[in-house]
A and B are shown apart, each in its own frame.
Chain A
Amino acid sequence: MRLPSFIITALARFDVNARQLATLLGVYLKQDLRGGRAFMQFSAREYVRGNAALLMLLGMYVFTGFMMGGMVFFTDIDALHFSIVIHTFTLLIVALAILAESGNVIFNENEADILGHLPLSSRTYFAAKVLNLFLFTSLLAGAANLFPAIFGIWAAGANGLFLPAHALSSLLDALLATALIVTSYGVLMRLVGRERFDSIIAYSQIVLVLLFMFGFQILPRVMDVNFMQLARGYRWYYLLYPPAWFAGLTLVLMGKARAFAAALAAVGVAVLAALGHLAIRKVGSDYSSFVVELSYGEGAAKARSVDTAVAAEPRGRTLAERLKSLWLARPAERAAFDLVSAYLRRNREVKVRLYPSLAYFIFVPVLAVFSEGLHDPFIGRRVQSYPLMGALMICYVALTAVEVLRFSAHYEAAYVFRVAPVERLGDLHSGFRKAVIVWVSLPGFAILFTLYSVLWRSPAHAALLLAPWVIITPAVLMLGFLFRETLPLARKYQKGQQASRNLLLFLFCFVVLSLFGGLQALAIRGRVPVAEIPFPLPYWSFIAISLLLSAGFYFGLRALSGEGRTVQPATQ
């Protein structure tokens, strides 16, 4: 397909070669959409046609959009606020998906070998990357807004034009999230050197996730807290709220806008234009050289050198080594533990994919501190959800870590697990799990323990609250290893896998672990609310039962999953 000449000319003004852009973008899309490994493996067949992870992610968003859009039939909501709610949801999911996937797209240093020597301008390369991300986010936004765009026609004050208007403004949602994140990375690239970039980029992702998640908290304020009594009219702070900008644009395109809605739309368009200008003029021009620097520069070599603290780790029979040998008795277990530990601490790709999920763990207690407060549940037996959700989030983050660590750009090196005489798959799994517990779960629990101990002035109560969650962690982690071979860093990463798996894990944690948290709350209270009948399980017996059940589930699931078998050959 030949592009119109005016587009070719327009792109050339920005030093973007249209034909190269189309070629590169076509390649990226083929890679994203083509078959690879399905992230669910319950049968011997490992490969499915098409990107199953992406399809599943889209399916989940369509379903969620259907549920959210359905509110129009059960509440008295006007077009503006319906649009604000849906845009908020869209922006959140799109932003979180980009943050989960962006590391592999934007900073793929393996491409330097393939593209680095080609006559490709930096802006063309950058444009292909950004468009690739934007098409991905548009797909997500489209899936999430499929039903809301239709249902919104029935919102108060809407008309048939709501569908195309909302569809367009949803695309702009995706564009804003893409532009914001890409520009943030670009600015970071310019401000910090290559050596510090690796560590900063991972932490900056946490900040971005928190920004979006706290932004999402504005929504109840927009809705005037009570969901069934929805806001009407405009508020001045809508001018600071991106979903409101695009809701204003929806109204303008419907022909239903007043001056304030037009102002909202104008702000949205202006911000997009500004971000676009920043991205093209400032970020795009240096992009190629930065990617090459990422791969080959002096800073790259220094960044990849193991820091002296790691290199100075004691060798031989120190106390730490002896304890490690006791806890990791089998050599294969120790090998897997050391490999996963090294990647968790040093590998940028792992950090960039894992750290955004750390934001969930940070988000809950911080939100609690600044909103309702975190009260000691053992005093007055007043149990709030936030302390328990903090612990739940650690389990979620640990499960996410297992998923992240299954994939790596160095996946080809996993041949060593199939060639070596590993007697029990369970040894590799066990080392993998223990590394996640040591480097993800325990630090998380330690942080929460410190926070709760300080706030409640009672380390004993903090320990009592967190103990059941620490106890169930090994059993919860088994979810990542259930009925399948989960070798560390053994699979090639594919677009959509991170985001879709994160969503599934979040749903599991929310449903199943919430039940556990609910039982804990009842055990603390000692009574069942509403019915006001005594809860038959004293708290100490709740902990004891958690221990027994957790052990039972852990060993039972290990046996059921066949961890006693050897590592199987690949079927292809």
Chain B
Amino acid sequence: MIVLERLTKIYDAVTAVDHIDLVIPSGQLVGYLGPNGAGKSTTVKMLTGMIAPTSGRAEIYGLDVRQQSTEVKRLIGYVPESGAVYETLTGREYLEMVGRLYGLDDALIRDRIAKFADFFELARDTVDRKALATYSKGMRQKVVISAALIHNPRVIFFDEPLNGLDASTQLMFKTLIKNLAAEGKTILYCSHILDVVERTCDRIVIIDHGRVVADGTLAELRAASGEGSLERIFNKLTAHTDLEERAEEFSKTFSF
């Protein structure tokens, strides 16, 4: 379970996350949406212990994120939007490093690397011998996802996890996270790809300018907003209702 109580982050004069209250029960797959700069990544970074909140608190499975950060980190996995890795390492070396940082036994790490490589269809030679710098974006993303799951976390934070993944891998991944949620894992899924969120998530939270503007199942959001698709709900709640007209107007300025 994840509990956020008036969680706030202020950078100089900018309030990135503004007193967010949320409760996410175990086993729920929650889509966490918002326009660019809404505060999604900042919220996730506070929950993963990467940055300290300005005020408020958060708990993960009853453990305070600030006071019991090490215990919390043992429970969580994180896929960052950047997909950054240490490119000089091979895939295996990177996953071994992460596994060790999570305190896993070497034999267990090796076993799990083999399973992830098999699942993501990464050739053994690639994983063992090729530096991550030579991997395609999609292959790198597979390694990053593997690194987030290698220690079998109870809570997983995904920030644009489908970046660079091909269509078949995306399908595989969507099925994977649904199954993980069904097994009792709590998943917070940040994405701009609304149709994926629409089809996979049990619950959708929309934030804008650091505040929660909507929270519920898709059906509840439809009923509350009177809109049909998540895309229209999202645009209405984040005050972007005239996008098509603006795009049409703008494209006319480039007509020759």
Distance, CA A418 to CA B85, complexed state (A): 14
Interchain CB contact (< 8 A) of A332 among B80, B93, B96, B101? B101
Q: Mark B83-97, 1 if CB is under 8 A from A, else 0.
A: 011111110010011
Contact B90 A311 (CB under 8 A): yes
Contact A570 B51 (CB under 8 A): yes
- Evaluate whether A305 and B130 lie within 8 angstroms (CB atoms) in the complex, with A413-B85, A489-B86, A570-B51 already known: yes
Which of A21-29, A206-214, A342-350 lies at the interface with chain B? A342-350
Residues on the B chain within 8 Å of A347, using CB = 88
- Evaluate whether A339 and B129 lie within 8 angstroms (CB atoms) in the complex, with A332-B101, A420-B73 already known: no
Contact B50 A346 (CB under 8 A): no
Residues on the A chain within 8 Å of B80, using CB = 412, 415
Distance, CA A419 to CA B153, complexed state (A): 12
Contact A338 B82 (CB under 8 A): no
Interface residues on A, range: 35 or more
Question: In angstroms, how far is the closest chain A Cβ from the Cβ of B129?
Answer: 4
Distance, CA A417 to CA B50, complexed state (A): 9
Question: In angstroms, how far is the closest chain A Cβ from the Cβ of B80?
Answer: 6
- Evaluate whether A306 and B90 lie within 8 angstroms (CB atoms) in the complex, with A331-B103, A571-B51 already known: yes
Residue B76 is within 8 A (CB to CB) of chain A in the complex = yes
Contact A305 B70 (CB under 8 A): no
Q: A555-572: which have CB < 8 Å to B?
A: 566, 568-572
Q: A307's closest neighbor in chain B, by CB?
A: B129
Distance, CA A308 to CA B130, complexed state (A): 10
Contact A306 B101 (CB under 8 A): no
Interchain CB contact (< 8 A) of B84 among A335, A338, A415? A415
Residues on the B chain within 8 Å of A423, using CB = 70
Q: B88's closest neighbor in chain A, by CB?
A: A347
Most buried by A among B70, B74, B82, B86: B86
Number of A-B residue pairs having CB atoms within 8 Å of each other in the complex: 115
Residue A304 is within 8 A (CB to CB) of chain B in the complex = yes
Interchain CB contact (< 8 A) of A306 among B71, B86, B96, B129? B129
Residue B131 is within 8 A (CB to CB) of chain A in the complex = yes
Contact A304 B133 (CB under 8 A): yes
Contact B86 A339 (CB under 8 A): yes
Distance, CA A304 to CA B90, complexed state (A): 10
Interchain CB contact (< 8 A) of B89 among A315, A342, A420, A571? A342
Residues on the B chain within 8 Å of A413, using CB = 84-87
Residues on the B chain within 8 Å of A420, using CB = 73, 98, 101-102
Question: In angstroms, how far is the closest chain A Cβ from the Cβ of B64?
Answer: 13
Question: In angstroms, how far is the closest chain B Cβ from the Cβ of A308?
Answer: 8
Residue A8 is within 8 A (CB to CB) of chain B in the complex = no
Question: In angstroms, how far is the closest chain B Cβ from the Cβ of A300?
Answer: 8
Question: In angstroms, how far is the closest chain A Cβ from the Cβ of B23?
Answer: 23
Question: In angstroms, how far is the closest chain A Cβ from the Cβ of B70?
Answer: 5
Q: Mark B174-211, 1 if CB is under 8 A from A, else 0.
A: 00000000000000000000000000000000000000
Question: In angstroms, how far is the closest chain B Cβ from the Cβ of A326?
Answer: 14
Q: B195-248: which have CB < 8 Å to A?
A: none
Residues on the B chain within 8 Å of A342, using CB = 86, 88-89, 93
Residue B165 is within 8 A (CB to CB) of chain A in the complex = no
Residue A12 is within 8 A (CB to CB) of chain B in the complex = no
Distance, CA A273 to CA B48, complexed state (A): 57
Contact A569 B51 (CB under 8 A): yes
Q: A290-332: which have CB < 8 Å to B?
A: 301, 304-306, 308, 311, 315, 331-332
Question: In angstroms, how far is the closest chain B Cβ from the Cβ of A297?
Answer: 12
Residue B104 is within 8 A (CB to CB) of chain A in the complex = yes
Contact A339 B97 (CB under 8 A): yes
Residue B254 is within 8 A (CB to CB) of chain A in the complex = no
Distance, CA A207 to CA B128, complexed state (A): 34
Distance, CA A558 to CA B49, complexed state (A): 24
Contact A305 B131 (CB under 8 A): yes
Question: In angstroms, how far is the closest chain B Cβ from the Cβ of A476?
Answer: 27
Residue A422 is within 8 A (CB to CB) of chain B in the complex = yes
Contact B88 A570 (CB under 8 A): no
Residues on the B chain within 8 Å of A331, using CB = 99-104
Residue A421 is within 8 A (CB to CB) of chain B in the complex = yes
Distance, CA A417 to CA B51, complexed state (A): 12
Residues on the A chain within 8 Å of B169, using CB = none
Residues on the A chain within 8 Å of B104, using CB = 331
Distance, CA A420 to CA B100, complexed state (A): 10
Residue B52 is within 8 A (CB to CB) of chain A in the complex = yes
Question: In angstroms, how far is the closest chain A Cβ from the Cβ of B210?
Answer: 16
Contact B134 A301 (CB under 8 A): yes
- Evaluate whether A311 and B128 lie within 8 angstroms (CB atoms) in the complex, with A335-B97, A489-B86, A570-B51 already known: yes
Q: B96's closest neighbor in chain A, by CB?
A: A338
Interchain CB contact (< 8 A) of B82 among A334, A412, A418, A570? A412
Residues on the B chain within 8 Å of A343, using CB = 86, 88
Interchain CB contact (< 8 A) of B70 among A308, A408, A416, A566? A566
Residue B147 is within 8 A (CB to CB) of chain A in the complex = yes
Question: In angstroms, how far is the closest chain B Cβ from the Cβ of A312?
Answer: 9
- Evaluate whether A334 and B100 lie within 8 angstroms (CB atoms) in the complex, with A311-B129, A412-B82 already known: yes
- Evaluate whether A419 and B76 lie within 8 angstroms (CB atoms) in the complex, with A331-B100, A342-B93, A489-B86 already known: yes
Interchain CB contact (< 8 A) of A335 among B11, B49, B100? B100
On A, residues with C-beta under 8 Å from B are 301, 304-306, 308, 311, 315, 331-332, 334-335, 338-339, 342-343, 346-347, 408, 410, 412-413, 415-423, 489, 566, 568-572
Q: Give 25 A-B contacts (CB < 8 Å), ordered by A residue.
A: A304-B88, A304-B133, A305-B130, A306-B131, A315-B110, A331-B101, A335-B100, A342-B89, A343-B86, A346-B131, A347-B88, A410-B84, A410-B85, A410-B87, A413-B85, A416-B97, A420-B98, A420-B102, A421-B102, A422-B70, A422-B101, A423-B70, A566-B70, A569-B50, A570-B50
On B, residues with C-beta under 8 Å from A are 11, 48-52, 69-74, 76, 78, 80, 82, 84-90, 93, 96-104, 110, 128-131, 133-134, 147
Given contacts A338-B100, A412-B82, A422-B70, 9 further A-B contacts (CB under 8 A): A305-B134, A311-B90, A311-B129, A331-B100, A335-B97, A338-B96, A339-B89, A343-B86, A410-B84
